[in-house]
Amino acid sequence: MFKFTALLALVSVVPSLVNAQASLYGQCGGIGWTGATTCVTGATCQELNSYYYQCLPPSTSTTHSSSSSVTTSSKPTTTTSSTSKSSSSTSSSSSAAPSGTPAAGNPYTGYQVYLSPYYAAEVAAAAGNITDAATKAKAQSVANVPTFTWFDTAAKVPTLGTYLSNAQALQTSSGQKQIVQIVVYDLPDRDCAAKASNGEFSIANNGVANYKAYIDSIVAQVKLYPNVRVVAVIEPDSLANLVTNLSVQKCANAQTAYLECVTYAIEQLNTVGVYMYLDAGHAGWLGWPANLSPAAQLFSTLYKNASSPQYVRGLATNVANYNALSAATPDPITQGNPNYDEIHYINALAPLLQQQGFPASFIVDQGRSGVQDIRNAWGDWCNIKGAGFGTRPTTNTGSSLVDSIVWVKPGGECDGTSNSSSPRYDSTCSLSDADQPAPEAGTWFQEYFTTLVTKANPSL
Ligand SMILES: *[C@@H]1O[C@H](CO)[C@@H](O)[C@H](O)[C@H]1NC(C)=O
Ligand SMILES: *[C@@H]1O[C@H](CO)[C@@H](O)[C@H](O)[C@H]1NC(C)=O
Ligand SMILES: *[C@@H]1O[C@H](CO)[C@@H](O)[C@H](O)[C@H]1NC(C)=O
Ligand SMILES: *[C@@H]1O[C@H](CO)[C@@H](O)[C@H](O)[C@H]1NC(C)=O
């Protein structure tokens, strides 16, 4: 009897010991977190952002700065990466780069898209603040939809390793191959046509070299996990700016650096087998008939000049924008553009790319495209009022040109503040079709998220 009691006592102690300390790379705090707040020996609990504290090795440095970007067409977002259930180390294997030959066909086929634990934590916290039970349940389900992770500062890159490590562990334990989706977004003089740029690098201050070091650090992380597939969107807005905005002085000044930097990015990411889609704006930008040929020319020249990297799979469109892949009827703001939605744009651009030897497969962001006809002008991009989550990511796209519908922009993260006193204010965020008051770019916008949930189409 005594023995039995002792055994019970032991059993009851073991789980509490396990729960008392989070494992290396485990979550150890953040808004809404109820688990362990201390870490196993050798790790310290560090704040990645207000929603996510993580047990990291002492040497790991992290930042949790928000970013924003503002452009004529899309805005970036911030996402700090993190991990929750990795068992051991960041240097799981030191192996060579994948062989130089990409898999034939759609890189998404046969793969499951890895869920960002950071976005899942943001969504869980947001759902916790919703009182209506039905809406709360819908909100919670958004945590299961994969989004991209934006590496918009160099300081965030070390956390890529934790994602890859987690994805590798999940792949091993489940037998289901994983894709990690990232956005490469840190060009010097970023967002050259915007009213306010938040890029950390400037061309005048060593920006090209800094950018190359940023790319090198991504490559170094990817190289450690050769069994995890990585898909990257390359530099939202930048090449589209070179097509249409060279009359803006900052864009003219940045042209040479953008080309050199993007060339370096695609050459280097190619060596470690990252499947790449270069950002190509959207139907209301490069989809205007006069812009199609110049766009195809730029993409194909860049590609060939970089020795035609085999892992460049094509283009990403509608990143962080609101256009439908296939609109029932043209939105009045499209003003007669025959390419009034993303599929018309893609069908018009693809043959021009193919003629020049550029691979023409696409991914299309539909994260916030659930509701149409809600903008006053096609160029409006900031926290558009009444937007709803759109088609869930799928390879069932209805077009052989489109590899996957994706959610690049994590819905709920703000596009930009409506506070005109803020140093990062962009007047686009105070237009009458922009939801206000809006917090700083990249921070959580609870009211906006709730609207995305309730207006989701298809519904959640
Ligand atoms: C950049 O080009 C787009 C597309 O032509 C245009 O709508 C926008 O006004 C331009 N931006 C600036 C700052 O000139
Ligand atoms: C061609 O590649 C070189 C680097 O090899 C780069 O500096 C240059 O900007 C590229 N040109 C174009 C048009 O992409
Ligand atoms: C607007 O921004 C200014 C400057 O950053 C700040 O002092 C002020 O508190 C902000 N107002 C609101 C309502 O957030
Ligand atoms: C959510 O609720 C928590 C706890 O009540 C609160 O601290 C937090 O500010 C709320 N967040 C939002 C975005 O409403």
User: How many Cβ atoms sit within 10 Å of the Cβ of residue 435?
Assistant: 19
Best probe residue, ligand 4, of 129, 443, 453 (max atoms within 8 Å of C-beta):
129
CA atoms lying within 13 Å on the CB side of residue 208: 14
The beta strands (E) that lie in 294-416 are given as: 312-317, 361-365, 402-406
Is 378 annotated as a binding-site member?
Answer: no
Q: What single-letter DSSP state applies at residue 45?
A: E
Residue 255 Cβ inside 6 Å of ligand 3? The answer reads no
Token representation of residue 331: 């939105």
Quote the number of domains for the chain.
1
Residue 368, in any domain of the structure: yes
Q: What is the pLDDT of residue 277?
A: 98
Distance 153 CA to ligand 4 centre (A): 27
Cβ pair 395, 363 in contact under 8 A? no
Query: In the annotation, is 331 catalytic?
Result: no
How far is it, in rounded angstroms, from Cα 278 to Cα 210?
21
- Check residue 139 and give left, alpha or beta (phi > 0: left; psi -120 to 50: alpha): alpha
Residue 33, in any domain of the structure: no
User: One of 186, 237, 365, 403 is an active-site residue; which one?
Assistant: 237
Among all ligands shown, which has an atom nearest to the Cα of 439? 3
The model's pTM is 0.83
Distance 156 CA to ligand 1 centre (A): 30
Give the contacts of 413 (CB within 8 A, at least 6 positions apart): 77, 78, 79, 122, 442, 443, 444, 445
Q: What is the pLDDT of residue 99?
A: 54
Query: In the annotation, is 237 catalytic?
Result: yes
Residue 436 Cβ inside 6 Å of ligand 3? The answer reads no
Residue 13, in any domain of the structure: no
Best probe residue, ligand 1, of 70, 192, 242, 245 (max atoms within 8 Å of C-beta):
245
Is 285 annotated as a binding-site member?
Answer: yes
Residue 249, in any domain of the structure: yes
Token representation of residue 80: 């700090």
Token representation of residue 225: 């996990």
Q: Which residue's CA is the closest to the ligand 1 atom numbered 5?
A: 244
Q: Give the residue among 74, 36, 15, 4 at the shortest CA–CA distance from 367.
A: 74
Query: In the annotation, is 415 catalytic?
Result: yes
Q: Which residue's CA is the closest to the ligand 2 atom numbered 7?
A: 260
User: How many Cβ atoms sit within 10 Å of the Cβ of residue 297?
Assistant: 15
Is 413 annotated as a binding-site member?
Answer: yes
Residue 31, in any domain of the structure: no
Phi, psi of 363 (to 5 degrees): -120, 150
423: preceding bond cis by omega (within 30 degrees): no
Cβ pair 274, 325 in contact under 8 A? no
Q: What is the pLDDT of residue 25?
A: 66
Domain coverage including residue 163: 67-454
Token representation of residue 151: 């590496």
Distance 7 CA to ligand 2 centre (A): 70
Distance 50 CA to ligand 4 centre (A): 11
Distance 422 CA to ligand 3 centre (A): 6
Residue 125 Cα: closest atom of ligand 4: 1
3-state secondary structure of 9: helix
How far is it, in rounded angstroms, from Cα 267 to Cα 100?
12
CATH number, domain at 321?
3.20.20.40
What are the distances in angstroms from CA 340 to CA 35, 131, 285, 296, 328?
Answer: 48, 38, 10, 18, 10
Q: Which residue's CA is the closest to the ligand 3 atom numbered 11?
A: 419
Q: What is the pLDDT of residue 24?
A: 72
What are the distances in angstroms from CA 245 to CA 18, 162, 241, 252?
Answer: 57, 37, 5, 8
Rounded mean pLDDT for each run of 10 residues along the chain, 460 residues in total: 37 42 77 81 78 66 32 35 31 44 94 94 95 97 96 93 95 96 96 74 97 97 96 97 96 98 98 98 98 98 98 98 97 97 98 97 98 97 97 98 98 94 91 96 94 98
Is 381 annotated as a binding-site member?
Answer: yes
3-state secondary structure of 181: strand
Per DSSP, what are the bridge partners of residue 365? 406
Residue 446 Cβ inside 6 Å of ligand 4? The answer reads yes
